[in-house]
Amino acid sequence: MRLLAICAAALLFICAACGGGMSTAEQAAAEMTGGGNPARGRAAIERYGCGTCHTIPGVRGADALVGPPLTQVASRSYVGGVLTNSPENMIRWIRDPRAVDSLTAMPTLGVTDQDARDIASYLYTLK
Ligand code: HEC
């Protein structure tokens, strides 16, 4: 019984150490965005319907071409053609693209700060 408890504790420790099952790319993206969660981000992308305009690898049904494909968006130099591609700028764009560029066709969708952070962390796994 005691051995079982020790094994369980060791397993918990290992799981915590490896970031709860995140891949290296996901861990890096989580760190870059100050604690964004890529898995939650992917779910949020589905919820907000980003895929009705964008092709986004790994997101179910996200195959539209109204806006630019977000394939390898992590490697892009600019966000929306106006902001340098940094995590803070990516979050800013996702939250309120119209405030960044009043002429952009991307609508402001009312994405919350946490959701934008999670979404940005998912996008930063797309290298
Ligand atoms: C109604 C269509 C539409 C929806 C919905 C939409 N976008 Fe966009 N998005 C666009 C368009 C159009 C652009 C190009 C904007 C520009 O360059 O001014 C864009 C640009 C972007 C960019 C910058 C890409 C680059 O290469 O510069 C990102 C990142 C992005 N969108 C993420 C999202 C996310 C995340 C969502 C969901 C929360 C979303 N978009 C929802 C139309 C949309």
- Which residue, by CA, sits nearest to atom 40 of ligand 1? 50
Kindly state whether residue 114 falls inside one of the protein's structural domains. yes
pLDDT of res. 2: 73
Please tell me if the CB atom of residue 111 comes closer than 6 angstroms to any atom of ligand 1.
yes
Kindly state whether residue 64 falls inside one of the protein's structural domains. yes
Kindly state whether residue 15 falls inside one of the protein's structural domains. no
Q: Residue 55 forms beta bridges with which residues?
A: 63
Kindly state the tokens that stand for 21.
């099952």
* pTM for this prediction: 0.89
pLDDT of res. 54: 98
Q: pLDDT (tens digit, 9 = 90+) per residue, 30-71?
A: 999 999 999 999 999 999 999 999 999 999 999 999 999 999
Kindly state whether residue 8 falls inside one of the protein's structural domains. no
Q: What's the number of domains the chain is made of? A: 1
Please tell me if the CB atom of residue 82 comes closer than 6 angstroms to any atom of ligand 1.
no
- How far is the C-alpha of 50 from the C-alpha of 44, rounded, in Å? 9
Q: pLDDT (tens digit, 9 = 90+) per residue, 10-38?
A: 655 555 555 578 999 999 999 999 999 99
CATH, residue 103? 1.10.760.10
Kindly state whether residue 6 falls inside one of the protein's structural domains. no
Domain residues for 60? 24-123
Kindly state whether residue 71 falls inside one of the protein's structural domains. yes
């490896």: which residue's tokens? 18
Kindly state whether residue 18 falls inside one of the protein's structural domains. no
What are the DSSP calls for 63-123, one per residue?
A: B--SS---TTGGG-SEETTTEE--HHHHHHHHH-HHHH-TT-SSPP----HHHHHHHHHHH
